Amino acid sequence: MERLRSFLYYLRENPKLGIGLGMIAVLILFGVVGRLLVDPGLAQPLSTTPRQAPSWEHLFGTDDAGRDLLTVMVVGMPLTIRIGFLAGGVGLGLGILLGFVSGYLGGKIDTVIRGTVDTLLTVPSLVVLISIASTVREEISIELMALVVASLSWMWPTRTIRAQVLTLRERAYVQMAKLNGMNSFEIIWKELFPNLLPYLAASFVGAVSWAILATIGLEALGLGPQNEPTMGMTIYWAITFSALIRGMWWWWSIPIAFLVLLFVGLFLVAAGLDELANPKQRRAV
Amino acid sequence: MHWGYALKRFALFLLVIWAAASVNFFVPRLGTGRDPIREKLGQLAASGGLRQEGVEEMVKAYQAKFGLDKPLYVQYFNYLGDLLRLDLGYSLANYPARVGQMIGNAMPWTLGLLLVSTLVSFSFGTLAGALVAWPRSPRFLQGLVVPLMTLSAIPYYLLGLILLYVLGLELKLFPLSGGYAPGTLPGWNLDFALEVLHHSMLPALSIVLAAVGFWGLGMRGMMVSTVGEDYISLAEANGLRDRTIFLRYAVRNAFLPQFTALGLSLANVVAGQVLVEVVFAYPGVGTLLFQSIQSSDYTAINGVVFVIILSIGLVTMLMDFLYPLLDPRISHRR
């Protein structure tokens, strides 16, 4: 309770974190509560009258194939967030592993990891993902989608975590622990890791945000799970069936509004966590 | 420039291209062990129709190089050899068009759009970022941070859809899709140039709007720390004009990392543009990629992916060579 109060107190000083967390919480709640209120079956094609403008019966209208868009949002938002968290989690996990090994051990292994990361960062990852996703297109599922995206989401975390580890490694308390006879693993786990927690949280949010961006990009090109009503697939269907020109504004504007909320929320949380991790920036931002 | 460095950097470039090509070759053949190009060719051959002759020729040419009777490494070297000669093969969906030719037709469109929108957003965003962080700029400018942040968080193509609706469909200021109106003859004259310009305004605007936020935030971060430096205080104490301090002392020093970021983020800019092109049905490489995905034209998909990686690799390498000219502190000499 005491902790919660001091956290809320901190949020007043760091409004970005507060507002961002609030936006994400609202989106997640929307999915959880919405699930209880609507029938998820309505997110499937041919479940209701197609091409209806928003009305009391269909708050967000319906699309060409007869999906109720409110239900699509309720079902699709959590799916998209799940892909993001899965891919971002795997990416951050790899990033932590490689970043700590590279930064703490140094030497040849560091040269190899750093070289690989710097090289891969200049490669347009979305384009590589397109080539991978187009070959597994028929059998792609939510989880496979997350894995495909995760395969290229570890470089940025690796790079930044390595840089942090490099500065922490020279701190007096780490030297002290070394003199006391702790082995490398213990030092990483007990000394470095806890001190990097806020920083890792910021990296995680960044990775999730990147993963969602990449996922939506792939899906908007038609490379997502065809039978799942995710946010990106909804945009793909809207583009493919020219919702815009046919005046079906609700079909594309509603998913965009939700995605803008999601991206701005994630961005604010990342910026807020950055501030928490580097108090020196506090004045700056 | 140091020749040893140039050589090393070029070797790295070749390595990246080779790795990308290998991923392109091996990923489809891994796992399921199936070869999508072969499957698609099989379908084409079985469905027959008017263009049967061409299909058979394609199948024959493909078998000669990538036939199952050949061991994998022979297929692989055939593939690398083709790429070395920039031979991307026939399009599966539009025989007898060659993939290289299709990309060649689309490339000028993409390059034009990319160049203009990146230059505009980079210069405008950098200036906006610098002004936002400058303590003596007017209050309304400092308040720009919030819109800049919001814009930087929204993907290009989503912004594009909104612009398309408001400026194109509702206000009818700009055409809705394509690179030029159907019926006009492409040619080197003023009318056609204006037509193209008119059509590319909306796609360019959606890239610019979203990217301005990114460049603005980056510049702002650098400016904030530069403004705190002692030499700025000294310049102020010396009574230099505000303008001089701003441009010569602050912006000039804060600008370099911004240029480095341009090289690093180029890949993302291009990826974003692919989707913008799809939204506007702009006749560039992105739309070509989209159409190829929709018609399962695997040779075209592979070709476009390879060309994009190749060109970005080239540009990144050129930028690495340019840094020492811009910043004397970087010399590429160890």
If you measure CA to CA, which chain A residue comes closest to B278?
Answer: A221
DSSP summary character for residue A62: B
Quote the CA–CA distance of A75 and A87 in Å, as a whole number: 19
CB B163 within 8 A of CB B280: no
For the stretch B238-246, contacts whose Cβ atoms lie closer than 8 Å and that sit 24 or more positions apart, written own/partner, are B242/B136, B246/B130, B246/B134
DSSP class per residue in B238-270: TT--HHHIIIIIIIHHHHHHHHHHHHHHHHHHH
- Burial call A80-96: b when 16+ CB within 10 Å, e when fewer: bbbbbbbbbbbbbebbb
Closest in B15, B36, B225 to A135, CB measured? B36
Phi–psi pair at A68, nearest 5 degrees: -85, 120
Q: Do B293 and A271 touch (CB under 8 A)?
A: no
Q: Do B158 and A132 touch (CB under 8 A)?
A: no
Close Cβ partners of A280 (under 8 Å, ≥ 6 residues apart): none
Q: How many residue contacts between A and B have a Cβ separation below 8 Å? A: 122
- Put simply, whether B247 touches A (Cβ < 8 Å) is no
Quote the CA–CA distance of B35 and A135 in Å, as a whole number: 9
Q: What integer pLDDT is reported at residue A285 of this predicted model? A: 38
> Which of chain B's residues have a Cβ under 8 Å away from the Cβ of A123?
16, 20, 267, 309, 312-313
> Which of chain A's residues have a Cβ under 8 Å away from the Cβ of B12?
119
> Which of chain B's residues have a Cβ under 8 Å away from the Cβ of A121?
264, 267
In chain B, which stretches have pLDDT less than 70?
Answer: 1, 28-36, 38-39, 44-56, 63-69, 95, 183, 185, 329-334
Cα–chain center distance at A80: 9
pTM of the model: 0.84
> Which of chain A's residues have a Cβ under 8 Å away from the Cβ of B301?
130-131, 134
Cβ-based interface (< 8 Å): residues of A facing B: 119, 121-128, 130-132, 134-136, 213, 216-217, 220-223, 235, 239, 244-245, 247, 249, 252-253, 256, 259-260, 263-264, 266-268, 271, 284
- Stretch 8-27 of chain B: residues touching chain A, C-beta under 8 Å: 12, 15-16, 20, 23-24, 27
What are the Cα distances from residue B67, in Å, to B23, B167, B189? 19, 52, 49
Token digits of residue B129: 């970022």
DSSP summary character for residue B285: H
Angle at A140 between CA A135 and CA A146, to 5 degrees: 105
Quote the CA–CA distance of A248 and A242 in Å, as a whole number: 9
Is the bond into B96 cis (omega within 30 degrees of 0)? yes
The half-sphere exposure of B169 on its side-chain side, counting CA atoms within 13 A, is 17
H helix and E strand count, chain B: 14, 0
- Stretch 250-309 of chain B: residues touching chain A, C-beta under 8 Å: 263-264, 266-268, 270-271, 274-275, 278-279, 289-290, 293-294, 298, 301-302, 305, 308-309
Q: Do B169 and A244 touch (CB under 8 A)?
A: yes
Quote the CA–CA distance of A21 and A261 in Å, as a whole number: 11
Type of residue numbered A186 = E
In chain A, the domains with their CATH numbers are 58-278 (1.10.3720.10)
Strand partners, B90: B98
In chain A, which stretches have pLDDT less than 70?
Answer: 279-285
Q: What integer pLDDT is reported at residue B333 of this predicted model? A: 56
Q: Where are the alpha helices (DSSP H) in chain A?
A: 2-13, 15-37, 69-100, 107-121, 125-135, 142-150, 155-169, 172-179, 184-186, 193-220, 231-240, 249-277
ipTM over 0.85: no
DSSP class per residue in A212-270: HHHHHHHHHTT-S-TTS--HHHHHHHHHHTTTTTTT-HHHHHHHHHHHHHHHHHHHHHH
Please report the sign of the dihedral spanned by the C-alpha atoms of residue A264, residue A270, residue A273, residue A275.
Answer: negative
> Which of chain A's residues have a Cβ under 8 Å away from the Cβ of B308?
124, 127
Q: What integer pLDDT is reported at residue B51 of this predicted model? A: 57
Quote the CA–CA distance of B210 and A260 in Å, as a whole number: 12
Close Cβ partners of B35 (under 8 Å, ≥ 6 residues apart): B28, B29, B66
Q: Measured between CA atoms, how close is A88 to chain B, in angstroms?
A: 17
Q: Do A124 and B169 touch (CB under 8 A)?
A: no
